[in-house]
Amino acid sequence: MTDKTQQATFADLGLIPALVERLEVLEYSQPTPIQSHAIPHVLDGRDMVGGANTGSGKTAAFSLPILQKILQQGESNARRGNFVSHLILVPTRELASQVAYNVKSYSYHLRDKIKTVAVFGGVSVNPQMQALRGGCDIIVATPGRLLDLVSSNAIKLDQVKTLVLDEADRMLSLGFTEELNKILALLPENKQTLLFSATFPEKVTTLAQHLLNDPVEVQLQSAEASTLVQRVFSVNKGEKTAVLAHLIKQHQWRQTLIFVNAKNACNHLAQKLSKRGITAEVFHGDKGQGARTRVLEGFKSGEIQVLIATDIAARGLDIEKLPVVINFDLPRSPADYMHRIGRSGRAGEVGLGLSLIDYDDYHHFKVIEKKNKFQLEREQVEGFEVEDDQSEAYFLPMKPRAKPAGTGKKKKKRNQ
């Protein structure tokens, strides 16, 4: 393996001046670990399987070498018909627009040479069809809309030279397996494939084995974790909202992303926080694309300080330097836990991933810890200490599911 350390510059990694100069303009002073490890291999044409969260800088890791390929091989001049040369598949529309935005920003000065188009569902197909006319160099797509465009002949996939599967675990857990298989069947055998995933459940490993040819493996989860502080607070049942409001007021976080498990829970929690003097916006699948974009912009700009979201809606949100992510409801799967906290501590920033657990969450949080191979001390919030009988239960081994007698019934009187 090439000995590229984290101190290497983008030029050291083999990128050409046209791209390095642009990165200087974007103030990317140094490659992130995934960029240092991945870029030389992707430039060499190797297949790759990369373990990295959103926030690690993986978009640049896969897209800069693709841009370089297009420039060096003069592929763009060969753009014709409705073919596409490089396909980036992502699980959600938000991620599609963000990845496309990043790719376009890396090649903004080359926009007459390199054409990147984003296609995703939930919006009218016509502008996307128009954008694809005459072919494109890079397409960033969600699976369903891509297949729609293929079936209406707006795009042809048989000239694809690079396939990127971004957030492969999420793609499969969102149920895109069938669409993915259809797309894979349309691609040529001979291509470079890069697969990125935050976690590696069996489905992803099987897909990687099937798809990749002698891949380089880049696994950076541990480096990621160092930029993230995880904490877990034990709370009494029925007191999560009060604890949450207390923490938000106490810490005055600049931006807080709160996860709940259902769309109506978003609205419900926003109302309850509002009664406690905290304004929060919601971000879920029932919101139209326009509303989602407005909320996202407001959150990015700092106008909205508290955002309550479901997993599906929040997946792939690109918000720089997000200081805090809070699990109000625990995610159903341990993999989703990693996805959620991956929203904070981005690109070297220290972030906080915080979970509120009551007695009913206790066992599930243990499973999350075990699967993700970490263990956290259960902390208490001053003024909201868990009742004695309950706190004892928090420290029992994993088995008990039945509540101890009296739990949740007698409430400790609080002097506030």
Could you give the CA distance from residue 66 to residue 62 in angstroms, rounded to a whole number?
A: 7
Task: Tell the smallest beta-carbon distance from residue 74 to ligand AMP (Å).
Answer: 27
Question: To the nearest whole angstrom, how small is the minimum distance from the Cβ of residue 34 to ligand AMP?
Answer: 8
Site map for ligand AMP, 279-318, x if CB under 6 A?
Answer: ---------------------------------------x
CA–CA separation, 342 vs 345, rounded Å?
7
Nearer to ligand AMP, 44 or 320 (CB): 320
In angstroms, what CA-CA distances link 231 with 27, 177, 239, 335? 32, 34, 18, 17
Q: Would you count residue 57 as binding ligand AMP (CB under 6 A)?
A: yes
- Of the two residues 18 and 347, which places its CB atom closer to ligand AMP in the complex? 347
Q: How many residues bind ligand AMP (CB under 6 A)?
A: 16
100 close to 117: Cβ distance less than 8 angstroms = yes
Q: How many Å is the Cα radius of gyration of the chain?
A: 23
User: Other C-beta atoms within 10 Å of 324: how many?
Assistant: 22
Nearest-approach distance from CB 32 to ligand AMP, in angstroms:
5
Query: Per CB under 6 A, which of residues 345..384 are in contact with ligand AMP?
Result: 346-347
Binding part of the chain for ligand AMP, among 55-63, 243-251, 255-263, 275-283 by CB under 6 A, reads 55-63
Instruction: Give 239 or 318: the residue with its C-beta nearer to ligand AMP.
Output: 318
Whole-number Å distance between alpha carbons of 351 and 225: 10
Interface with ligand AMP includes 55 (CB under 6 A)? Answer: yes
Of 25-33, 112-120, 194-202, 332-340, the window that binds ligand AMP (rule: CB under 6 A) is 25-33
56 touches ligand AMP (CB under 6 A): yes
Tell me how far, at minimum, the Cβ of 238 lies from ligand AMP, in Å.
37
Q: Give the strand order in the sheet containing 192-197.
A: 116-119, 136-141, 84-89, 162-165, 192-197, 48-51, 216-219
Q: Do 147 and 179 form a contact (C-beta atoms < 8 A)? A: yes
Question: At a CB cut-off of 8 Å and minimum separation 6, what does 271 contact?
Answer: none
Segment contacting ligand AMP by CB under 6 A, of 50-58, 197-205, 275-283, 358-366: 50-58
Q: What's the CA gap between 135 and 144, in Å, rounded? A: 19
Is position 340 an interface residue for ligand AMP (rule: CB under 6 A)? Answer: no
What is the residue whose two structure tokens read 């007021």?
249
Interaction between residue 320 and ligand AMP (CB under 6 A): yes
Interacting residue ranges for ligand AMP, rule: CB under 6 A:
28, 31-32, 35, 54-60, 102, 318, 320, 346-347
